[in-house]
Amino acid sequence: MNQRILIALLALKWLVILAILGWVMWRCLKRTEDDRLISKWIATVLVLPIAVFVMISTGPFIGVPVAALLAIILGAMWAPNIGEFMAASLTSMFDGGIMEVDSAPFYSIAEARRKRGRYDEALAEVRKQLEKFPNDFQGWLLLAQIQADDLKDLRSAQETVERIVNQPGHNPKNVAHALHRLADWQLKLGQDIEEPRQSLERIGELFPDTELAQLAAQRIAHLTGPENMARPHEPRRIQVHNHPENLGLSDDFTGFKIPAEDLAATAGKYVRHLEQYPLDYEAREKLAILYAEHFRRLDLATDQLEQLIAYPHQPVKKVVQWLNLLADLQVQHSNDPTAPRKSLQRIIALYPNIAAAENARQRLGSLNLEFKRKQTSQVVKLGSYEQSIGLKKDWPSKAPPTT
């Protein structure tokens, strides 16, 4: 029974040795550039038993010289491989050694042919790389760029972006970026703004309640701007008015008068715009400043900024900006020193470990100085003599030169 156990253990031992030896041989065969490696192994396996047999059967006078000759033959055969192994530790510092490098697509040839205007060949090179790496975002976006920017083929670019959207595994930011680029091409090459609007709305559908969706909604709100966004492919026209010549020499000239802006109409325009696009934070910021600075309604301005701050998934940078803006308006249009202090303390409470919190702490220490500067600027008034500076009649005349 014990003998069977010993035989089984011995067999297991040799199986492990052969498995390790086979794994080492496979790794060597996979990494080596020597095409004769297999033939060297076969020759070694055949020569070694012959050398051992000759030494045992013929004695030392014949066996040792024969074994030495066979060893010299094997040494000469394996010398390049042994030298390569010994020098690997030194040469690996320069050539990376035998470390396996992850394969990656290369688009340099496609970019070079694109710069030369050979767009069809560039497309072929990109597709060749995509056959090897079918989920490479950079390659699909480059393909769409060539189609849209170079070949002006909007439909093909749209199909390429659609393929990016439908492929699993892409980063949401990359998908949103591709849809933004598609909207750019549709605005540039298309006939209306409906298609780019739909492309941007897809970002909100794919990634609802995220910063990506908010950025897309922000851009949608500006697709129908008052200037040239309604027809993005047409140049902006600037109307030039005719004015009388020699206006400064007229007897009734009283100076140039800038037409006063109708602030109520401007505020109404912002309100109507926000009813349609409530996520347009630029318009809401401007409305808040207008409420505070021109209508002296700090409460309405605070309400607009609080709506922006309270909306979920807002970027940290924007929340900090709005709280600082709220503190600015409270310093300028409020006599309560605790109001801006609370706004700055909210930054520290929300984001205690970022640079904005340290800036808020420093500003808290100088809030009293901001209030003092505001009070000083309110006390100082423009004197009546300063209002007509340059028009005084009693300027001393220059004394005539003495002879």
Residues 293 and 311 in one domain: yes
- E strand spans, 47-89: none
Largest pairwise CA distance in the chain: 143
pLDDT tier at 241, thresholds 50, 70, 90: low
User: Is residue 202 included in any domain, yes or no?
Assistant: yes
Question: Could you tell me what percent of the chain has a pLDDT over 70?
Answer: 71
Range of the domain at 216: 116-221
Question: What is the CATH number for 146?
Answer: 1.25.40.10
User: Residue 394: its pLDDT value, please?
Assistant: 36
User: Is residue 102 included in any domain, yes or no?
Assistant: no
User: Is residue 140 included in any domain, yes or no?
Assistant: yes
Q: What is the mean pLDDT of residues 367-376?
A: 80
User: Residue 388: its pLDDT value, please?
Assistant: 31
User: Is residue 403 included in any domain, yes or no?
Assistant: no
Residues 125 and 195 in one domain: yes
When the pLDDT of each residue in the chain is averaged and rounded to a whole number, the result is 78
- Alpha-carbon Rg for the chain in angstroms: 40
Judged against a pLDDT cut of 90, whether residue 309 lies above it is answered with yes
User: Residue 398: its pLDDT value, please?
Assistant: 42
Cα 24 versus chain centre, distance: 44
User: Residue 70: its pLDDT value, please?
Assistant: 73
Last residue of a domain, one of 168, 191, 221: 221
User: Residue 66: its pLDDT value, please?
Assistant: 73
Residues 172 and 267 in one domain: no
User: Is residue 95 included in any domain, yes or no?
Assistant: no
pLDDT tier at 24, thresholds 50, 70, 90: low
pLDDT tier at 107, thresholds 50, 70, 90: very high
Token pair in block for residue 58: 């013929």
Residues 282 and 330 in one domain: yes
Q: How many domains does the chain have?
A: 4
Judged against a pLDDT cut of 50, whether residue 227 lies above it is answered with no
C-alpha distances out from residue 228 to 199, 233, 235, Å: 20, 9, 7
Residues 127 and 63 in one domain: no
Cα 242 versus chain centre, distance: 48
User: Is residue 369 included in any domain, yes or no?
Assistant: yes
pLDDT tier at 90, thresholds 50, 70, 90: low
C-alpha distances out from residue 35 to 31, 79, 139, 283, 345, Å: 11, 15, 36, 71, 72
Residues 327 and 373 in one domain: yes
User: Residue 235: its pLDDT value, please?
Assistant: 53
Give, in degrees to the nearest 5, the angle at Cα 362 between 298 and 372: 55
Judged against a pLDDT cut of 90, whether residue 298 lies above it is answered with yes
Give, in degrees to the nearest 5, the angle at Cα 137 between 132 and 140: 75
User: Residue 240: its pLDDT value, please?
Assistant: 59
Closest CA to 325 of 355, 346, 295, 349: 346
Judged against a pLDDT cut of 50, whether residue 50 lies above it is answered with yes
Residues 58 and 19 in one domain: no
Residues 212 and 294 in one domain: no
User: Residue 20: its pLDDT value, please?
Assistant: 78
All residues at 6 or more sequence positions from 186 whose CB lies less than 8 Å from its CB, including other chains? 154, 158, 195, 196, 199
User: Is residue 132 included in any domain, yes or no?
Assistant: yes
Judged against a pLDDT cut of 80, whether residue 137 lies above it is answered with yes
Contact yes or no for 67/51 (Cβ under 8 A): yes
Residues 82 and 185 in one domain: no
Q: pLDDT tens digits, residue range 313-336?
A: 888 999 999 999 999 999 999 888
Q: pLDDT tens digits, residue range 150-205?
A: 999 999 999 999 999 999 989 999 999 999 999 999 999 887 789 999 999 999 99
Reduced to 3 states, what is the DSSP secondary structure of residue 54?
helix
Residues 58 and 85 in one domain: yes
Residues 25 and 43 in one domain: no
Judged against a pLDDT cut of 70, whether residue 40 lies above it is answered with yes
Judged against a pLDDT cut of 50, whether residue 396 lies above it is answered with no
Q: pLDDT tens digits, residue range 258-272?
A: 666 788 888 899 899
Distance between first and last Cα of the chain: 143
Rounded CA-CA distance 343/361 in Å is 11
Rounded CA-CA distance 400/181 in Å is 74
243-257 exposure pattern, b = at least 16 Cβ within 10 A, e = fewer: eeeeeeeeeeeeeee
Token pair in block for residue 195: 């298609």
Judged against a pLDDT cut of 90, whether residue 383 lies above it is answered with no
Query: pLDDT higher for 221 or 73?
Result: 221
User: Is residue 228 included in any domain, yes or no?
Assistant: no
Rounded CA-CA distance 314/170 in Å is 23
Question: Could you tell me what percent of the chain has a pLDDT over 90?
Answer: 41
Judged against a pLDDT cut of 70, whether residue 300 lies above it is answered with yes
281-293 helix and 263-276 helix, angle to the nearest 10 degrees: 150
Q: What is the mean pLDDT of residues 73-89?
A: 69
Residues 298 and 372 in one domain: yes
User: Residue 225: its pLDDT value, please?
Assistant: 45
Reduced to 3 states, what is the DSSP secondary structure of residue 119?
helix
User: Residue 97: its pLDDT value, please?
Assistant: 54
